[in-house]
Amino acid sequence: MPESQQRPAPRLAPSILAADLGHLDTEIRRAGDGGADYIHIDVMDGRFVPNISIGLPVVEAARRATTLPLDVHLMIVEPERYIERFAEAGADLITVQVEACVHVHRTLQQIREAGCQAGLALNPGTPVSAIEETASLLDVVLVMSVNPGFGGQSFIPTSLSKIGRVRALLDAVNPAALIEVDGGIKPENARGIWQAGAGILVAGTAIFSPERSVADSIEAFRSVFID
Ligand code: DX5
Ligand code: ZN
């Protein structure tokens, strides 16, 4: 049986950090029309990461532009201060960085109580053991395959082994949880990342690119998984 019939092809989450934010509505609609599964929104505060990106008003604008699930990635310190507001703004999945949470177990409960799916992100230097005590509470584990803060970086190859170790942990305690991988993902490396255990692929510059349409970029990913 072909590999892609044993496990579903990964879901695709275009990151609007790479989109033309001056035409956000159009860019998001193009992603939806092209077959994206989520819209990934990278929120950066200039403290947890050395970049400032977008925040609550942009989540609200994205909510008006699409019915796709909004996958909000909080690269901010003290994310517990903002969970309810991102939920009200329209987030469906809220992912916080484990490194930014003093009381991570409580913050995940807070996300669920706000009516959202709960995700925990691991930076490249953070060991899988950091989610051992909370793995059973998660809908998504986000494995960062670049150091967070910017799009257009190169995929860190050791992420493949880490994805496999996260998958082994989740299979033992929370098999329904998905692994989302984020950073440096292109059609060229997407299949190997999926084979390692990824269920959701985030892509920014590989989808919102001046060289080709959003639809063609998404098609380039989809074609990787047709056996
Ligand atoms: C980086 C963000 C990623 C980034 C992905 O901190 O979390 O979502 O936007 O961009 P690419 O796909 O260009 O690496
Ligand atoms: Zn992200």
Per DSSP, the residues of 38-73 read: -EEEEEEBSSSSS-B---HHHHHHHHHH-SSPEEEE
Alpha carbon separation from 167 to 92, 162, 164, 198 (Å, rounded): 23, 9, 5, 8
Q: Is 18 in the pocket of ligand 1 (CB under 6 A)?
A: yes
For all residues of the chain together, what is the average pLDDT?
97
Q: What percentage of the chain carries pLDDT values higher than 70?
A: 98
Dist. CA 172–CA 160, nearest whole Å = 19
Dist. CA 37–CA 198, nearest whole Å = 14
Domain ranges of the chain: 3-223
Query: What pLDDT, in 10s, does the model give residues 89-108?
Result: 999 999 999 999 999 999 99
Banded model confidence at residue 6, pLDDT cuts 50, 70, 90: confident
Nearest ligand to the CA of 71 is 2
Q: Is 34 in the pocket of ligand 1 (CB under 6 A)?
A: no
Q: Is 153 in the pocket of ligand 1 (CB under 6 A)?
A: yes
Instruction: Specify the CATH number for 3-223; select among 3.20.20.70, 3.40.1390.10, 3.40.640.10, 3.40.570.10.
Output: 3.20.20.70
Looking at residue 4, its pLDDT comes to 55
Q: What angle do CA 194, 129, 123 make, to 5 degrees?
A: 60
Half-sphere exposure of 206 (CA within 13 A, CB side): 24
> Among 42, 45, 71, 139, which one carries the catalytic annotation?
42
Nearest ligand to the CA of 147 is 1
Stated pTM of the model: 0.97
Query: What pLDDT, in 10s, does the model give residues 107-138?
Result: 999 999 999 999 999 999 999 999 999 999 99
Which protein residue has the closest C-alpha to ligand 1 atom 3?
Answer: 183
On the question of pLDDT at 227 being above 80, the answer is no
